[in-house]
Structure 1
Amino acid sequence: MGDQEQREADALRTRELVAEARRLRQVIAAAEADLARTHADAFALAEEQTGRLREASTREREMPLRSMAAEFAVDARTSDRTMQTHLFEAHRTVTQFPTTWAAWHEGRVSRAHVRVIVEAGADLDDEHARVAFEQDVLDYAETTSPNRLRSYAEQVAESVNPRSMQERHDAAALDRRVWVEDLRDGMSMLGAIGPSVEIHGVYDRITRQGKAIKAADRVARREAAEREIEREAATRGEREAVERHSVRWGASFGLSGHGPADGVGDPRAGDTGDTGGCGSVVAGEVWFDDRTMDQIRTDLLLDMMLTSTPSVDGVGGVVEGGLGAIRAHVQVTVPATTLAGTTAGGAELDGKCAVDPETARILAGKAPGFDRVFLDPIGGAVLAVDRRHATAAQKRYLMARDVRCRFPGCRRPARECDWDHREDYALGGRTDVENLGAFCKRHHTLKHAAGWTVVQHSGGRLQFTAPSGLEYTDDPPPRVTFIPDPPPDRGRTGVDDVRAPF
């Protein structure tokens, strides 16, 4: 096959692959659109159930949707809060943007396109404005990428929106929030949504503070360099003076220029640590800041958030010392071998993410006390804790065992949860660890108000039965154990006398 024929064959194969990829995208888009339709139907069913609770309290009226989201979430192995958002967004897409959903189902646009269109047009309460917006933006969406579509969709929404910018800003400000997303390697991301002026003001302030730190660092480096130059100049001057004196001394007494004892103590030999010592002294006196601007901004933000007092403090009569007296509180599980330095394994923060060993040891050094947790050496299940104060000990045991809310998919730390009786205390349920478990406020309420039942088995396994009759199980979080590294072989012979580090 010649080169031209090979190129034509490659081009044909490429066209075939592109066509197959297009076909598969259409299949995926149709499936995703059908799933969105199912989620929308579930949301509609929950609304119907809510409509039948006209005389119920606000909390009771929330239960149908929350319970519906919980059933879908447990089945999909995701968070019920996330699922509740999916149900709402699917219902909004199907009912308010039907043309966009149809284009999605036909594969003319992707899920990403749909998300951009729905988000941009979400504030259009007027149906005629929304229809005009959808048709205009959808035509463009079929010809471009989601990223390019976003700016165009926002411009179109702005042009057809009957509400003023001030009205929309006031409504959007109600959705301000802060959240945490856990990353890898003991890192997490703190996000915040708030008024643009204030958010940019915060960024500008920490940027200015970072520049001030960098400027101070440059001054410190310059002053250190100037001191080094002056010190070297002074040292050179002293040596030249000694040299001139030595020449005159040798000429007067007929010596050949050698100092006493073959140069020992000869000023021309200098102090062996003079030059190097000078550098180390400067480095010891002045700490040079090698952080990047991003690193400085992050350190400044965290430092101010953890130590500063807010300017508006209205809880002085409730909390002694006001808001400034409130300090960050986290629970860290640290293997004893990590504290001892015999393993390099990290610690764990509230069952959410890893903590590097150095930070774990620093936290342990400042902790007023410890809860020692005994784990099964094989399965890693929590066996007991070593404090014997009834209620407090039970809580410590349960925090160590459950780590987080026990409702499937929830990650709320156990220390922020309620201690729920599997069998109600009022009905004779015992207050012991075999009948207690961590449930966050949301799922504690859901369990009692929406008809979920729970049975606890050995080892802390929970069996949930949803109002629909479907069953789900949840086990305590698995534990990672760290085995100490064996000491290096020192050439010993005979019986191995390796001992544990404790």
Structure 2
Amino acid sequence: MASTRHRPDGTTPDPEYDDLTERTRRFTTGYLDYNQQRRHADVGEIRMLAVAYDIAAEHTRRDTTAGAHLISDEHRLHSHLRSIVGTAGIRTNDSDLTLANRARDAHRLTTAFPAWMTALDDGTVTLRHATALLRYANKVNDDRRDDYGTKVLDYAATHTPGQTDTYAKKLAARLNAADFETAFERAYDDRAVTIQDLDDGMSILSATIPTVAAHAGYDLLSKQATQLRDDHHDDAKAHRARVREAQAAGEELSPEDAAFIDDPRTVAQLRADVFIETLLTSTPQSILESVAKGKPRVQATVSIIVPITTLLDPDAPRDIATIDGMEPISAFEARQIAGTVTCFDR
């Protein structure tokens, strides 16, 4: 729509429309129409999945009445539910387990939070808002459930699903503060470090640790990585300036400038490099303060199986190097490690 100006008499002419204005109008109308259709479909699906749960629950009650006690009621309910929703899942390419979990959510939403169904019906909130509500609902005691549902609904009506998720998480923790501390103690006992091997010689090293420590560690890594990135940028800028000066004066570059290589790493890459470098080269404070103080650090042991041709000629056709004969690693890493060992097992 073209801009308009007031006439000399103070009146404003009608706005001028062009093809882009019309396309924008059609987009807005179409998007809102499809959004409404999707909302109605989401609500209908919730109600249908809740019906599936009710059918499975009735099957379970009848089995119990008939004296079938070989498995628990919960296992029997789960079995019936997967069987019922699996019939529909075959037609929609959804797994029976996924649909069963969604049916449980639908049952809880329709029975424990009926006001949310009304809000879904009239479009006040979306299914994604409801998903945020349910994600933390099991952390709230039954006597505070109504308060939780009402407050999250009031918030969701004027906020995005992402903001609602954050609010619901905090509210659930606040309403169950005492239980949260107990849950934290239980979760703290399960702290661990795990590894997941990926393709292309990469792996994910994960640590389940207290949130405060995790955020403090991530913040430190980010600051260190950013500082390194800035230092590298400053070095590169100074190097370019010296190169220009040498070229202007017709002089040769110094050995340092001639060998200078710019560091292209991003902050994310530097963060990962600083993390593993710190992990492999630093000594934990708990070790410094333990009876092991002053003794050699524990050395990491990695068994590499690598064809000899990979070490001798990087350009020759070769087989892949592996860790313990299982997980592939790059030839570059294999040669680096081979260059530091004192002996080989053939």
Q: Please, what TM-score do these two structures have when normalized by structure 1?
A: 0.40
Aligned: 1:129 with 2:103: no
| Residues 306, 328 of structure 1: 8 Å contact kept | no
The answer to whether the 8 Å contact 2:60/2:76 transfers is: no
Asked if 1:25 is matched to 2:42, the reply is: no
Q: Return 5+ residue gaps in structure 2 as ranges.
A: 1-13, 288-296, 306-313, 318-327, 339-346
Contact 1:121 1:157 in 2 (8 A): yes
Task: State the match for 1:142 in structure 2.
Answer: 157
RMSD value, Cα: 6.2
Kept in 2: contact 1:33–1:105 (CA 8 A): no
State yes or no: 1:300 paired with 2:317: no
Tell me the distance in 2 between the aligned counterparts of 1:302 and 1:169. 28
Distance 2:216 2:265 in 1: 22
- Alpha-carbon distance in structure 2 between the residues aligned to 1:308 and 1:72: 53
- 1:415-426 equivalent positions in 2, closer than 5 A: none
Alignment of 1:468-487 (within 5 A): none
The aligned counterpart of 1:117 is 133
- Post-superposition offset of 1:203: 1.2
| Residue 170 (structure 1) aligns with | 185
- Inter-CA distance 85–6: structure 2 relative to 1 (3 Å threshold): same
Q: CA deviation at 1:198?
A: 1.1
Change (3 A) 1:65 1:46: farther
The structure having more radius of gyration, on CA atoms, is 1
Q: What displacement does 1:201 show?
A: 2.4
Report what 2:5 is aligned to.
Answer: none
Give, in whole Å, the separation in 2 of the partners of 1:329 and 1:101: 58
Report the Cα distance in structure 2 between the residues aligned to 1:307 and 1:63, rounded to whole angstroms: 53
Equivalent-residue separation in structure 1 for 2:72 and 2:31 (angstroms): 58
Q: Which residue number corresponds to residue 196 of structure 1?
A: 211
Q: Give the AA of the match of 1:99.
A: A
Partners of 2:77 and 2:213 lie apart in 1 by 38
Shift of 1:138: 1.9
Deviation at 1:18, TM superposition (A): 5.8
- After superposition, give the CA deviation of every residue in 1:210-235 in whole Å (9 maximum; x if it has no partner): 36745875897799899x79xx8xxx
- Mapped to 1, the partners of 2:124 and 2:256 lie a distance apart of 67
3-state SS of the aligned residue for 1:124? coil
**One-letter code of the match for 1:301?**
F
Moved more, 83-92 or 47-56: 47-56
Note if contact 2:195-2:203 (Cα within 8 Å) is conserved in structure 1.
yes
Report the 3-state secondary structure (helix = DSSP H, G, I; strand = E; otherwise coil) of the residue aligned with 1:163: helix
Superposition deviation, residue 146 in structure 1: 1.8
Q: Which residue of 1 aligns with 2:109?
A: 93
CA deviation map 1:430-480 (0-9, x unaligned): xxxxxxxxxxxxxxxxxxxxxxxxxxxxxxxxxxxxxxxxxxxxxxxxxxx
What displacement does 1:108 show? 4.2
Within the candidate set 69, 73, 77, 1:52 is matched to 69
Q: Deviations over 1:260-308 (max 9, x none)?
A: xxxxxxxxxxxxxx944x34x2146665544233321112224556788
| Structure 1 segment 349-498 matched on structure 2, within 5 A | 360-362=330-332
Given the superposition, is the C-alpha separation of residues 209 and 69 from structure 1 closer, same or farther in structure 2, using an over 3 Å criterion?
Answer: farther
The AA in structure 1 aligned to 2:149 is: E
Q: Which amino acid is the alignment partner of residue 128 of structure 2?
A: A
The question of whether the paired residues in 2 share the 8 Å contact of 1:133 and 1:156 is answered with: yes
Q: CA shift at 1:63, angstroms?
A: 9.2
TM-score scaled by structure 2?
0.53
CA drift of 1:26 comes to: 2.9
Distance 1:16 1:152, change over 3 A: same
The gaps in structure 1 that reach 5 residues or longer are 237-273, 314-321, 331-338, 343-354, 369-502
Q: Given the superposition, is the C-alpha separation of residues 21 and 199 from structure 1 closer, same or farther in structure 2, using an over 3 Å criterion? A: same
Aligned residues: 293
Mapped contact 1:309–1:323 kept (Cα < 8 A): no
Give the Cα–Cα distance (whole angstroms) in 1 for the partners of residues 32 and 240 of structure 2.
66
Q: Would you say the 8 A contact 2:129–2:160 is kept in 1?
A: yes
- Any conservation in 1 of the 2:152–2:168 contact (CA below 8 Å)? yes
- Structure 2 distance, partners of 1:219, 1:3, is 52
Distance 2:60 2:22 in 1: 57
Structure 1 residues 120 and 142, CA gap change in structure 2 (3 angstroms): same
Q: In the alignment, residue 282 of structure 1 is paired with which amino acid?
A: E
Rounded to whole Å, the distance in 2 between the matches of 1:6 and 1:341 is 63
2-side partners of 1:36 and 1:152: how far apart? 27
**What is the deviation of 1:33?**
1.2
- How far has the Cα of 1:110 moved from its partner? 1.4
Return the letter of the residue paired with 1:200.
H
